[in-house]
Amino acid sequence: MIQKISALPLKAYITFSGFVRDLRKDERGLSGVVVAILLILVAVLAIVLIWGFLQGWLKELWGNITGSATTGLTPAPT
C-alpha cells in the first residue's frame, strides 16, 4: 500500500510533464490564436479610422442641432 501511495505522485508528475511536453510541440492552435488577435486589431483600427473621418462631421452636426435648439427657445423681440 505504501508503495502505491509513493508511486502516485511520481506517476502524476510523469503524466503532467508528458502533457506539457506534448502541448509545447503541438502548433495546431497557434494559427487560430494569431488570426483572432489580428482580426481584433483590424477591427479596432477600422473603428479608429471611421471615428477619425466622421468626427468633424459629427461635431458640425451636433453644433447645428444644439445651435438651432437654443435659437428656437429664445423669445422673439417685441
How high is the mean pLDDT in each 10-residue block of the chain (78 residues)?
Answer: 71 79 70 84 93 86 75 56
What are the Cα distances from residue 24, in Å, to 15, 17, 36, 63? 14, 11, 20, 57
pTM of whole model > 0.75? no
pLDDT in the model for residue 42? 95
